[in-house]
Amino acid sequence: GESVGLHLPTLSVQEGDNSIINCAYSNSASDYFIWYKQESGKGPQFIIDIRSNMDKRQGQRVTVLLNKTVKHLSLQIAATQPGDSAVYFCAESAGSARQLTFGSGTQLTVLP
């Protein structure tokens, strides 16, 4: 078996508070970004996406911010709920490439 695993960043928030999950990307050519949510035992689920010609996009209770200058992406979740507890991944793609490259993920835990 594996003795060393990825050290997932963790974020614990109180129910009802806002959550901010951050992601740094390295490919300056990346022009499309997605946030995924993965609950235990399930596949990643699409949350929200943003193209590089935008710096902010809002969905239902979620907002994605993109700062291309410092190659940083964030996901804001408003009024965090217990059902938001999961691992959150950012993913990026560049140009005509169809494939996404995923970050290592952040474990969000919502405390009652």
Partner 1 sequence: DAGVIQSPRHEVTEMGQEVTLRCKPISGHNSLFWYRQTMMRGLELLIYFNNNVPIDDSGMPEDRFSAKMPNASFSTLKIQPSEPRDSAVYFCASSLAGTGYGYTFGSGTRLTVV
**Sites of contact with partner 1 (CB under 8 A):** 1-2, 4-6, 32, 34, 36, 41-46, 49, 89, 93, 98-105
CB of 63 to partner 1, least distance (A): 17
CB of 14 to partner 1, least distance (A): 28
Task: Give how far the C-alpha of residue 78 lies from the chain's centroid of Cα atoms, to the nearest Å.
Answer: 14
C-alpha pair distances (Å), 37 with each of 28, 64, 89: 24, 13, 6
- When the beta carbons of 57 and 72 are compared against partner 1, the nearer one is 57
Handedness of CA 95, 99, 104, 106 (dihedral sign): positive
- When the beta carbons of 25 and 89 are compared against partner 1, the nearer one is 89
CB of 105 to partner 1, least distance (A): 7
Tokens matching residue 56: 């902010």
- When the beta carbons of 42 and 112 are compared against partner 1, the nearer one is 42
Q: Give CA–CA dist 36/105, Å, rounded.
A: 9
